[in-house]
Amino acid sequence: MAKVKGAIVVNIERCKGCQICVPTCQQKSIAMSEALNSKGYHYAMTINDECNGCINCGLVCPDGVITVYRKKYD
Amino acid sequence: MKDVRLMKGNEAIAEGAIRAGCDGYFGYPITPQSEVLEYLMANKTKERTGMIVLQAESEVASIHMVYGGAAAGKRVMTSSSSPGISLMQEGISFMAGTELPCLLLNVVRGGPGLGTIQPSQADYFQAVKGGGHGDYKMIVLAPASVQEMYDFAKLGFDLAFKHRIQVMVLSDGAIGQMMEKVELDDERPRWTDEEIVKMHTWAATGKTKNRERNIITSLDLNPVKQEIINRKLQAKFRKIEETEVRFETIQCEDAEYLFVAYGSSARVCQKAVQLGRAKGIKVGLLRPITLFPFPYKEVKRLAKQVKGIQCIEMSAGQMIEDVRLGVEGIVGVEHYGRLGGIIPAPDEVLNVLEQNFIKAKIYERTH
Amino acid sequence: MSAPTREDICQLENEVYSRTTLLTPAPLSYCPGCGHGTAHRLIMEVVEEMNLQADTIGVAPVGCSVLAYDFMDIDMQQAAHGRAPAVATGIKRLYPNKFVFTYQGDGDLAAIGTGETIHACNRGENITIFFVNNGIYGMTGGQMAPTTLPNMKTSTSPFGRDVETMGYPLKITELIANLPGTYFVSRQSVHTAANVRKAKKAIEKAIQYQKLKKGLCFVEIVSNCNSGWKMTPLDSNKWMEENMFPFYPLGDIKVPK
């Protein structure tokens, strides 16, 4: 059976650290960074390998900083 | 054969707009100018030329509909009378800030407040000095006949698009309501949407791949940029002052005394000039046709020639301030006006001129 | 075959969601977590998917979204406070085949622009109104709005909105849904992925229906204002669910028969 695996790329400099993406991730893959971006925000980042590319985080991100990828594999 | 009709001033400007290729009229009824909207509705403009006519819910909505249509590069207009024009100042200021062309008609009635429905010229300052907030000017045309009401529709649209500016026809209840014969010219076709895209590259008509998007806004939060925008506007007004002054002189060649009056008052003064000449008084009339730009140079030229200048206005004295700016103290300038909707009579204004400058001999030429 | 590496996945051919190209590169000027950004993006996604860029003219309001034209890559006009429906009327009457929309907040649409809103709706103007309702004046610093809930604290109702002296919140969406000139009226939110999907469907309908020329389409988006409400973005969304949604229930209010 084909499996899917996803990944997100966060535009770190554009992330405002609002955290809305965090609870929307069913895989609990997103958390906020300890580090700050140049605007002074903690930015969203993936913290595990569980992303399935569901795009929920991309949908709710008010600043459109999350690009979502998904790949099928056997 | 010439197309000559007997028309009311308000009807004439409506017909003039149709024939000038107007695309849209948005207005709200108010006396003494409701005939404009009534005439357009009765003429089935959509079938005739494709012109859209809409009765809005208020003058505020009317002017913002005009703002929308103008932003999209169309020939659009509205009309109202004094209290309604006050309501429109917000939209006019936005159009000034975005440099949008449009035609506005104020058929002035007596004020302040609800005032009267009779003719007045008390909205001169509002029209000529700005009216709404911010540093801006409109081109202001003052018709003195029903023919000019007709002619100024086309002239107004042409000036509006030439300079990307608002043009106000500052009429009054007398010119709007009275009937005179009008010579009509041929209908000029409305621009097609394709012509508009080609001619008015600034218009918000939908962003195509071959150009940057067009943004119509008067907002710039950066004061440095806002100052640049304002200076550009001012440069445009200065250019208009150089190139668009219009006036008429009547029997000024040998005049020793001068009436300065516009619109209905100018008609009264024209008769007073005849009465004066019949009595042997060498009196002439300067009639400003554009109130902005004001014919300062012509005023100054005549000030050097005459012994006194009598301004006649149906107001407490507004245009006289511009006359005095032109005269630069060279000769005495007096105001006479009737208020509240009363038109002065020719013998009345001639008498005033005689009292002020001939019988009293208060003002002598000082140079 | 083993699981692909992150590098294998993050290839263009595997991209399943990215910011629409009809949003300009400019950073959105909204506060962190504000629903305006999501609402902007959804509208631009639909305009892009329906290939309407060249036929779209948008009207921006006065309020937080006054600079919407900095972010939406379409021809736009900025309207005076509350007058956007009149401006859109002027455009649409002269370009009946263009897609014309307004984007307005609650102060703009339901206070100063109530007259323009109701009459554009009542005339059945073939325009689309997107109405973002966060119950507060965000841009001017959190003053009471026509949609501020009873007892809700704002800078001009610091002890809570007292309906006895300050009047009741205006359910303008229900009000205009009663007018024969409106064709499709819906209330949505954009704070969760499920709500975003529903909101996008409503936006799609509101744009599609404009082509039918059967009347005005109106989509309200109940949104947060975490700065004005003085909460974190997540807390403001929770507060919105608990307080705003009971008063402004989500869902279609008027659908074509």
Domain boundaries, given as residue ranges, for chain C = 30-254
Contacts of C23 in chain A (CB under 8 A): 64
CA dist C206 → C79, C218, C223 (Å):
21, 7, 19
pLDDT of residue C1: 65
Among B23, B71, B208, beta carbon nearest to C54 = B208
SS3 of C217, please?
A: strand
Amino acid, res. C230: K
* Mean confidence (pLDDT) of chain C: 97
**Residue C9 and residue B133: Cα distance in Å, rounded?**
57
- Per-residue pLDDT reduced to its tens digit, B264-302: 999 999 999 999 999 999 999 999 999 999 999 999 999
- Per-residue pLDDT reduced to its tens digit, C162-185: 999 999 999 999 999 999 999 999
Q: Which chains touch C (3 or more CB pairs under 8 A)?
A: A, B
**Following CA atoms B105, B109, B110, B116 in sequence, which dihedral angle do they give, to the nearest 10 degrees?**
-150
B38 touches chain C (CB under 8 A): no
Q: In what order do the strands lie in the sheet with B139-141?
A: B52-55, B24-27, B76-80, B102-108, B166-172, B139-141, B290-292
A40 CB-side CA count, 13 A? 1
Q: Do A68 and C237 touch (CB under 8 A)?
A: no
Handedness of CA B193, B198, B204, B206 (dihedral sign): positive
- Per-residue pLDDT reduced to its tens digit, C129-144: 999 999 999 999 999 9
Please check whether residue B100 is in contact with residue B67, taking contact to mean a CB–CB distance below 8 angstroms: yes
pLDDT of residue B130: 82
- Per-residue pLDDT reduced to its tens digit, A27-70: 999 999 999 999 999 999 999 999 999 999 999 999 999 999 99
Contacts of C20 in chain A (CB under 8 A): 64
Topology adopted by domain A3-73: Alpha-Beta Plaits (3.30.70)
* B and C touch per CB criterion (3+ pairs under 8 A): yes
pLDDT of residue B365: 47
pLDDT of residue A48: 95
Q: Angle at CA C73, nearest 5°, toward B207 and C111?
A: 105
Is residue C161 very low, low, confident or very high in pLDDT (cuts 50, 70, 90)?
Answer: very high
> Once rounded to an integer, what is the mean pLDDT over residues C78-95?
98
- Per-residue pLDDT reduced to its tens digit, B83-133: 999 999 999 999 999 999 999 999 999 999 999 999 999 999 999 998 999
Written as one string, the DSSP assignment of A21-62 is HHHH-TT--EEEEEEE-TTS-EEEEE-SS------HHHHH-T
- Interface ipTM: 0.96
- Per-residue pLDDT reduced to its tens digit, C26-44: 999 999 999 999 999 999 9
- Per-residue pLDDT reduced to its tens digit, A2-29: 899 999 999 999 999 999 999 999 999 9
Place of tokens 């000559």: B4
Secondary structure in 3-state letters for B323-342: HHHHHCCCCCEEEEECCCCC
Q: Do B217 and C119 touch (CB under 8 A)?
A: no
pLDDT of residue B366: 46
Residues of A in CB contact (< 8 Å) with C are: 3, 5-7, 9, 14, 16-20, 22-24, 41, 53-71, 73-74
Tell me which of C207 and C257 has the higher pLDDT.
C207
Q: Do A59 and C17 touch (CB under 8 A)?
A: yes
Q: Do B60 and C88 touch (CB under 8 A)?
A: no
Q: Is the pLDDT of residue C23 over 50?
A: yes
Is residue A74 very low, low, confident or very high in pLDDT (cuts 50, 70, 90)?
Answer: confident
Beta strand spans in chain B (E): 3-8, 24-27, 52-55, 76-80, 102-108, 139-141, 166-172, 179-184, 215-216, 247-250, 257-260, 283-288, 290-292, 308-313, 333-337
Please give the backbone phi and psi of residue B67, each rounded to the nearest 5 degrees, phi first: -60, -45
Q: Do C191 and A20 touch (CB under 8 A)?
A: yes
Which residue ranges of chain B lie beneath pLDDT 70? 360-367
pLDDT of residue B362: 52
Among C55, C73, C91, beta carbon nearest to B69 = C91
CA dist B324 → B295, B296, B307, B321, C112 (Å):
12, 9, 14, 5, 42
Binding-face residues of C in 65-104 toward B, CB within 8 A:
66-67, 69, 73-80, 83, 86-91, 93-95, 98
Helices (H), C95-145: 106-107, 114-123
Please give the backbone phi and psi of residue C127, each rounded to the nearest 5 degrees, phi first: -125, 170
Domain boundaries, given as residue ranges, for chain A = 3-73
What CATH architecture applies to the domain C30-254? 3-Layer(aba) Sandwich (3.40)
Give chain B's domains with CATH numbers: 3-194 (3.40.50.970), 247-359 (3.40.50.920)
